[in-house]
Structure 1
Amino acid sequence: MNNRASTLTSSSLLYRVRLHDQQAWERLVRIYSPLVFHWCRNESGLSADDAADVMQEVFRSVSTSIASFRKKGSGTFRGWLRTITANKIRDLIRKMRGHTSAIGGSGWQNHLKELPESKLEETEAAEDGMVMRRAIELLDGSFQEQSRKAFWLVVIDGYTAAESAEKLKMTEQAVWQACYRIRRRLREELADLID
């Protein structure tokens, strides 16, 4: 294996989590916990306390089974995480049967099936944005503030490089370079996790 491939593989967040790297685990949880909490609260109707309990169970399950996760066909990390979350929501509902009016479990799956394709695409785009924003926040110390702002304007807010350059008093080339470097770092770090 050449040095470049070795560097990319060893810097992958999922790879480091599988090696029981505590910092990598904490980063994974910080990136994905808002998404799991969102699924529990907004899509399943759980209370904040129940959502926090489910989230803890989800990440406990992830920690014990992360080594078995493999991207097979269309299987993505986020899809795998969503399945674990749905199962943990079902477990909670079974445990509390008669004490909650949450729509988790099969109700959640049925709700998702009933959404029009465009709504599902919007939901997936919002989830992608949530994960990306969290990942970028965790890279804050790695890049200069001006570079992060340029990336944010172009990738998250949808401005052109020229518009971003004007707003930030940078050259268009500097904006493109900042976007490239941050994208490359995100790809390296989240290679096995980005859908």
Structure 2
Amino acid sequence: MPDYTNERELVEACLQNDRRAHEAFYRRFGPPALSVCRRYAPGREEAIELLNGGMMKVFEKLDQFRWEGSLEGWVKRLVFNATIDHFRRHRRKPTLEIAHWDQPTEDTVTHRLYAEDLRNLIDLLPETSKEVFWLFAVEGYSHAEIATKLHFSEGNSRWHLNKARQMLRERLNQEPHKFNRYAG
């Protein structure tokens, strides 16, 4: 199998319908795109289904990539859009979760417990506020992008983000969360 180290050569080979290039592309960009799907799917099997559907969209639209930014970022964005579209078609809300790749690099019991506490607090947020918080704070989307994706105004996006932050702050200031019980 050719060693497509140059992204442009890899994309050109994919556009020529080279199956080996498709496989190399999937192997290179599948894992980072899967991390996007895992954040929204309740299980690994569904995440892989979402990834496969998203990568099909990527291959369909590969000729539209303009080399104005990161190819990996573009792939992840298309996979994310396909994932959200999937949930809209099936009239389900995605499950936001902090997955193992979001953990600190030191994989200790205390870090796992702290991340679990944080995920549990985020899960208590109302669905739309939770989704806006995740898109803004974790995925790095702007309010304009969030508003477009979720079909409401930028002001609505800002309101949901502030509401989520306020609710998290209040919960973290409650007695059980006042101090990090897992520190040191």
Q: What TM-score range do you get, normalising by the shorter chain? A: 0.3 to 0.5
User: Which structure is higher in helix share?
Assistant: 1
How high is the TM-score relative to the length of structure 1?
0.45
Q: Which has the higher contact order (CA 8 A, sep 6+)?
A: 1
How high is the TM-score relative to the length of structure 2?
0.47
